[in-house]
Amino acid sequence: MRRRGLSRREFLGGVVVLGGGGLVLGGCSSPVAPPESGPGGGGGRGGGPRAGLPDIEGAEVVLDPARFPKAFREAPELAKLVAEGKLPPVDQRVGSDPLVLKPVHGVGRYGGQIRRGFIGQSDFQNAVRFCSGPDSLLYWDYRFEKLVPNIARGFELSEDGRVLTLQLRKGMKWSDGQPLTADDIVFWFTSVASSREVGTGSSSMKIGGQDVKVERVDEFTVRYVSPAPNPLLPQRMAGSSDIAGMAGNAHLGGGGFMPKHYLSQFHPEYTSMDAANKLAADAGFKGWAAYFRNQASWHRNPALPVVTPWVLTRPISNPPWEFGPNPYSIWVDHEGNQLPYISKITMGNIENTEVLGLRAAAGDYDVQDRGLGVTNLPVLLENEKKSAYTIHRAPSTELDCGLRLNLAYEQDKELGELIRTVEFRRALSLGIDRGQVNEAFFLGTCTPSATMVAEGSIYDPGPEWHTKWATYDVAQANTLLDGLGLTAKDAEGYRLRKDGAGRIRLDFQAFSNFADFVGVGEMVKRQWQQIGIDLNVASVEGSLLTQRANSNQLMLSCQQVGSDDPFLRPEAFLPTVTTGFPGMIGIPYAQWFASGGAQGKEPPESLRLKEAMALYDKGQMEPDEAERIRIGKEIYKLHADQVWSIGLVGFGLSANGVYLTSNKLRNVPARVVNSQTMKSLNNTYPMTYYYE
């Protein structure tokens, strides 16, 4: 049904014609374009030019006070409330330090609504990634090169990287009109972040195993004092960590700040245990903590004071999920118009992605990214003119698909030892035809690669490392395996185990979400026939996968791999995550590192993980950026050489890389960086969208 009247060849042609060019579509063809050294000087993070796609663009955060607007204007519906005396005037609401944006194409006009779809209760990231601002204290510029102020007005990091001073915006208000001050950050840190009942328990506010301290300097200044150099703390605040904004994290206890004046009424430290529990029981919740986390949920509680450009007007749990403009939004355009221009966002609940794709193709959505993927492209392109929308393609800065290995696998002793043998892992990697995977599952939109950053990233160790042990070389793979003494084969050509228990059969368990990862497993199984390795492929539900990862039962799996930053998102490279599927590179090892050797299992020297972890620890505490980048490159090189995970294809469209916008919308960037760290599509600056 999806491909009616459009063969694959035509579609691939269509990409070129309709997009005014195309992605590099060939399988193993040579990579793309010369790496860009951005104007920021620091170099890109994977947002460089791509052949056939428009350049990255976006709204600019105006930092020069001389260019700040002097007078402010607001949406007509807010002006009406001001006239009625229900709201203070706009210049009081935006405060004396508004966040000034120069929209990508021009100043807009107020009004209109954006229609979107979301896919059930677990899709709360939908709005977080579209209309939350984002509400992190700091953020990246649209080129993904340097940090810019966001909710905080500015920051200063001491030379040794131990003291971070954050300045807040004077006169800034929560969406209920109460001032946002240093107390809101201190409240979050002392009463929420460190609590087992309402905090996340993450290591974002730790360095070298010790806590970062948060101090209130004055009403609008906060100081973060780290026991060791902690130069990446600002990047954590700006990215996708649990301290990067309330919208996506507060319901889990993260965020970095919280409205003390509102949330303290639910917290026993500020009332009493009895009072807090009674409030919770009256609302039907089991205990104050569950209620507190519900009341702190951006997507569930319309009464929660927030700082996002839009505020919740109808919760996700009572669809349609809706947002209206925040009258106290600090975002203004360079002429002083308070943002957002669009006054309403309404999102319908869709039970399955087929209907979502069809509705998108019918033009029922004004902006849609969630639930659309590479497989939707044909039908979306076919209806682009008729339904008057534009398809955008935003290649990701990470791997779309990679095989993950559990280096700490113990269930089967012999197979576990093989997985811990570097020659074996290299042979597995060389035995995969990545071009075929790319063509079959990603319509050729990805680039074959080892587990690696995108070309042109500051951490890029050089082109030779992208294909290190990641070419298709069956002969070399067989030589490596023969060299391990695995020469005996059965009648079908599979190599036999040394303990006589039949052929070498690895175990692969995955579940398909962004792409058909189970299908990739089936393809790898056929390809590994040529190197005499058998594979058992199973489709396993996500929750079960989590449980098996926790009990160390997983051996091989396949997923998207966050591979664009070795320090901020290390879980794919190094054993840093101690629970769940993301930690599957070796949970016992991660526990060993996290506990300083007290728990878990020590990784053997031959695995060289300790070297990499030492580099990781050193890099995290390295105040000198050039040196940190050098260490980052070392980690990538070591990983590519040791093949701790088998990267397959990447830098494609499968993860949030395909989205559509109505042709009536203005200020939509031609292309943006697609990165988890940027929380794309927030970096298209939807608060500057408007209707002609």
Partner 1 sequence: MLNYIGRRLALGLFTVWAVSVLSFLIIQLPPGDFATTRLAELAASGNTSAIYEAERLRAEYGLDQPVFVQYFTWIGQVLQGDFGMSLDWNRPVADVIGDRLVLTMVVSVAAIIFTWAVALPIGIYSAVRRYSFGDYALTFFGFLGLAIPNFLLALILMYFGFAVFDANVGGLFSAEYETAGWSFAKVWDLFKHLWIPAIVLGLAGTAQLVRIMRANLLDELKKPYVITATAKGLTERKAISKYPVRVALNPFASSIGFLFPQIVSGAIVVSIVLSLPTVGPLLLRALQAQDMFLAGAIVLLIGVMTVIGTLISDLVLMWLDPRIRHGR
Where do contacts with partner 1 occur on this chain (CB under 8 A)? 1, 115, 120-122, 125, 196-197, 199-204, 240-242, 248-249, 252-254, 284-287, 289-290, 294, 297, 300, 314, 317-320, 322, 346, 348-352, 354-356, 358-359, 361-362, 364, 513, 541-547, 550, 562, 571, 577-583, 676
Q: Shortest gap between Cβ of 127 and partner 1 (angstroms)?
A: 12
- The rounded distance, in Å, linking the Cα atoms of 253 and 251 is 6
Dump the DSSP string for 355-377: HHHHHHHTT--SEE-TT--GGGH
The residue (of 125 and 530) whose beta carbon lies closer to partner 1 is 125
Q: Shortest gap between Cβ of 483 and partner 1 (angstroms)?
A: 37
Alpha-carbon dihedral 641, 647, 653, 655, rounded to 10 degrees = -110
Check: CB of residue 670 under 8 Å from CB of residue 393: no
Check: CB of residue 130 under 8 Å from CB of residue 367: yes
The residue (of 39 and 284) whose beta carbon lies closer to partner 1 is 284
Q: Shortest gap between Cβ of 557 and partner 1 (angstroms)?
A: 12
- The rounded distance, in Å, linking the Cα atoms of 212 and 360 is 46
Q: Shortest gap between Cβ of 511 and partner 1 (angstroms)?
A: 9
Q: Shortest gap between Cβ of 287 and partner 1 (angstroms)?
A: 6
- Report residue 422 as tokens: 């570097």
The dihedral built from the CA positions of residue 248, 251, 252 and 258, taken in this order, carries a sign that is positive
How many distinct helices (H) and strands (E) make up the chain? 22, 26
Q: Shortest gap between Cβ of 46 and partner 1 (angstroms)?
A: 16
The residue (of 19 and 302) whose beta carbon lies closer to partner 1 is 302
The residue (of 485 and 596) whose beta carbon lies closer to partner 1 is 596
The residue (of 572 and 648) whose beta carbon lies closer to partner 1 is 572
- The rounded distance, in Å, linking the Cα atoms of 665 and 651 is 27
Q: Shortest gap between Cβ of 121 and partner 1 (angstroms)?
A: 5
Q: Shortest gap between Cβ of 625 and partner 1 (angstroms)?
A: 24
DSSP 191: I
The residue (of 254 and 259) whose beta carbon lies closer to partner 1 is 254
The residue (of 103 and 588) whose beta carbon lies closer to partner 1 is 588
CA angle 164, 232, 584 (to 5 degrees): 140
- Report residue 664 as tokens: 């009536």
Q: Shortest gap between Cβ of 241 and partner 1 (angstroms)?
A: 6
Q: Shortest gap between Cβ of 25 and partner 1 (angstroms)?
A: 27
The residue (of 181 and 682) whose beta carbon lies closer to partner 1 is 682
- Report residue 620 as tokens: 């995290």
Q: Which of 570, 581, 442 is nearest to 511 (CA)?
A: 581
The residue (of 337 and 677) whose beta carbon lies closer to partner 1 is 677
Q: Shortest gap between Cβ of 434 and partner 1 (angstroms)?
A: 24
- The rounded distance, in Å, linking the Cα atoms of 134 and 301 is 18
The residue (of 112 and 149) whose beta carbon lies closer to partner 1 is 112
Check: CB of residue 281 under 8 Å from CB of residue 195: no
Q: Shortest gap between Cβ of 70 and partner 1 (angstroms)?
A: 40
H-state helical runs in 577-652: 587-594, 609-620, 625-642
- The rounded distance, in Å, linking the Cα atoms of 648 and 247 is 33
The residue (of 265 and 313) whose beta carbon lies closer to partner 1 is 313
- The rounded distance, in Å, linking the Cα atoms of 637 and 568 is 17
The residue (of 98 and 652) whose beta carbon lies closer to partner 1 is 652
Give the 3-state secondary structure of 101-131.
EECCCCCCCCCCEEEEEECCHHHCHHHHHHH
Q: Which of 477, 421, 452 is nearest to 646 (CA)?
A: 452
Residues across the chain: 692
- The rounded distance, in Å, linking the Cα atoms of 651 and 632 is 19
Q: Shortest gap between Cβ of 350 and partner 1 (angstroms)?
A: 5
The residue (of 171 and 580) whose beta carbon lies closer to partner 1 is 580
Beta-bridge partner residues of 321: 347
Between the CA of residue 314 and those of 76, 258, 348, 520, 522, what are the distances in Å?
Answer: 22, 21, 11, 40, 43
Q: Shortest gap between Cβ of 254 and partner 1 (angstroms)?
A: 7
The residue (of 201 and 597) whose beta carbon lies closer to partner 1 is 201
Is omega for the bond preceding 179 within 30 degrees of 0, making it cis? no
End-to-end CA distance of the chain: 34
The residue (of 301 and 478) whose beta carbon lies closer to partner 1 is 301
Which letter, b or e, does each residue of 245-259 get, where b requires 16 or more Cβ atoms within 10 Å of its Cβ?
bbbbbbbbbbbbbbb
